[in-house]
Structure 1
């Protein structure tokens, strides 16, 4: 059963402000008012997660360490209201297009579309009110048993945040086997439109309130990356080898081992090339925490992964009153390449009517 229902009035009030300017948005608001915002648990033994349908957000992942001690290994907030007001994208389902779109504009089939610029002159994570800032519909929820899961649905209207065409989106979180979390996304379009969904969990395998991840060991199964402008973090369009650069994590290395060699940036916020566009699961990354013995292995079917070391966190109050600081977590956001709509050499993220966008992720935990 959902909890935090007392936050619903706050959610609806904030949503009303965002939707009061046009009739199409008011129609969406009317539908949203009929929904309930809550928190839903999935549990399999001593492995459990919590999800809220505000932003299809992953709020917690609790699992043991090598000594059997349980801890929550994702950063976040205690209440839904804090997710409504938060700006860090903790655990959110990002869309319609994750990451940055240069100049908040793109051209598709001869028509130029102007988006909401919420990152300087650029659009970031779908605009100021992307998919992590809307109410999703709970389609199905099985809390326990052999394969507990929850499926959430969102209808994105034509023109939302400037994107063309309506889009129907589903995401399923499932504890698919012992200490394995699957995240499955799909979307169908009513008109040609870019789609690049991403999952934005902030991981700290020592526990969400246990400081820096700079000593955690990371391995990225990528020999290339897409260099970006240091000021805007928008890709230049080039694809470069990681060999001989601070971006080389082909062999396991401490997160902070080569960070001093980065130029013009405070940490990693980089798209790595992990696939060629073919839609099959491949190993993307491994993370290991030496203090607890916890490990994470990520598999996914997207061509890229954004490796982010929480460079922008500074004094963010999280769960239990813990204050999160810079490098307090790392993100592994599998995705299409950032700004692909403006780089024809990048794998296309355009979905047309009759096509189905799919994005699968599998997190395998060990200890």
Structure 2
């Protein structure tokens, strides 16, 4: 067979290239085999013990951008959340306690996972499949946030901890027995906190049951983007909410019907300074102890993937937060009932307006309102929810 010169030259160059690549690979075997370092880390450690000796653990998630989140197993609680400001310095932006003692003795729903039912159920009663259920009245005259010993007052099992190049996470699990706090069915719940390199803290939930029940889960972090310990009211921030209506409430804060926000202090369709809104004499502001404690109906309703719901910007610190959620509602609470009983981080007594909550959830008292998005969970179904907190610098 006749072989062309060009073919031989090409073959020689190919062999030579292969040899060079092989030599390069052999000369630096350690570089090729070395694993890349995790940019986002998860560190697990002890975090004290309850008065009965039960051990509490903490997992700290930390990225390379200066954002970190500490989650403790008591109440699957977001205990600490460090976020850089415009000056590059990180500050804690959630109220809470420096030790487990505060969470156990004066809880006040600071950063906890709330269940089995977040928010209020009127007079602590609901009916499911013709059977009446009675709950503890812990927020007279209503049931609130799962009862006397809800999900927030149990030690959750840490199921999984992961570090990675792009994200780190911790998954916690709690099994609520049939009849706990008056709710039917054994409910198994997992909550996963994930921090990534994009400064997104994602909280995702899933739950199953062995009997028909109702469920409404949320995280009850109370934010002050100016930093904690608090030097300025959290309400000195601008808020935008993707909502055209709220659930108006009666004097016991139970929903009484929809109220369009246009022309009211609840109109955050464009950014508004919260401090200005809570000075209003609007009857719904007065009912809320001169503040906001209302569920905003988020455009798009219940969705499969998170949609933008809330934007909060603190102009002084330069910290911004966007909340996206799959949930149909967000309960905005401006700290109207903070009365100094919380002696929080740094020994600071927290008073009115020093923190704000934005709780992604289904509507309050849904089991007693057939037209609301259902909170029913049946055997064979899986409850899911995802809420993303994205942090950024305000320019």
Give 1:160-171 correspondences, 5 Å limit: 160-171=180-191
How far the C-alpha of 1:69 sits from its partner, in A, is: 1.0
Question: Which deviates more from structure 2 when the two are superposed, residues 178-187 or residues 139-148?
Answer: 139-148
Corresponding position of 1:41: 60
Corresponding position of 2:233: 212
Corresponding position of 2:301: 276
CA distance in 1, matches of 2:157, 2:231: 34
Name the SS of the counterpart of 2:94 in structure 1: coil
Corresponding position of 2:12: none
Corresponding position of 1:26: none
- Given the alignment of the two structures, is residue 132 of structure 1 paired with residue 169 of structure 2, yes or no? no
Corresponding position of 2:45: 2
CA distance in 1, matches of 2:96, 2:302: 32
How far the C-alpha of 1:176 sits from its partner, in A, is: 2.7
Runs of 4+ in 1 over 6 A off after TM superposition: none
CA distance in 1, matches of 2:56, 2:163: 17
The question of whether the paired residues in 2 share the 8 Å contact of 1:97 and 1:197 is answered with yes
Name the SS of the counterpart of 1:257 in structure 2: helix
CA distance in 1, matches of 2:277, 2:313: 17
What is the TM-score when the length of structure 2 is the normalising length?
A: 0.84
Corresponding position of 2:104: 84
The question of whether the paired residues in 1 share the 8 Å contact of 2:60 and 2:70 is answered with yes
**1:181-209 CA distances to partner (integer Å, 9 max, x unpaired)?**
01001101111111100110011111022
Q: Alignment partner for residue 315 of structure 2, among 284, 290, 309?
A: 290
CA distance in 1, matches of 2:312, 2:190: 28
Q: Alignment partner for residue 257 of structure 1, among 276, 293, 311?
A: 276
The question of whether the paired residues in 2 share the 8 Å contact of 1:188 and 1:356 is answered with yes
- Given the alignment of the two structures, is residue 336 of structure 1 paired with residue 355 of structure 2, yes or no? no
Could you say what the CA RMSD is over the residues aligned between the two structures, in angstroms?
1.3
The question of whether the paired residues in 2 share the 8 Å contact of 1:42 and 1:144 is answered with no
- Given the alignment of the two structures, is residue 228 of structure 1 paired with residue 266 of structure 2, yes or no? no
Give 1:152-163 correspondences, 5 Å limit: 152-163=172-183
How far the C-alpha of 1:121 sits from its partner, in A, is: 2.2
How far the C-alpha of 1:95 sits from its partner, in A, is: 0.4
CA distance in 2, matches of 1:56, 1:211: 28
The question of whether the paired residues in 2 share the 8 Å contact of 1:61 and 1:73 is answered with yes
How far the C-alpha of 1:117 sits from its partner, in A, is: 1.1
How far the C-alpha of 1:177 sits from its partner, in A, is: 2.9
More strand by share: 2
How far the C-alpha of 1:258 sits from its partner, in A, is: 2.1
Give 1:1-367 correspondences, 5 Å limit: 1-5=44-48, 7-8=49-50, 10=51, 12=52, 36-45=55-64, 46-142=66-162, 145-208=165-228, 209-229=230-250, 231-236=251-256, 238-261=257-280, 262-263=282-283, 264=286, 265=288, 266-274=290-298, 275-315=300-340, 316-367=342-393
How far the C-alpha of 1:325 sits from its partner, in A, is: 1.3
What is the TM-score when the length of structure 1 is the normalising length?
A: 0.90
**1:304-352 CA distances to partner (integer Å, 9 max, x unpaired)?**
0000001111212111112211100111001000000001111110011
Residues 314 and 145 (structure 1), Cα distance of their counterparts in 2 relative to 1, 3 Å cut: farther
CA distance in 2, matches of 1:147, 1:77: 26
Name the SS of the counterpart of 1:97 in structure 2: coil
For structure 1, which runs of at least 5 residues remain unmatched after alignment? 14-32
The question of whether the paired residues in 1 share the 8 Å contact of 2:63 and 2:196 is answered with no
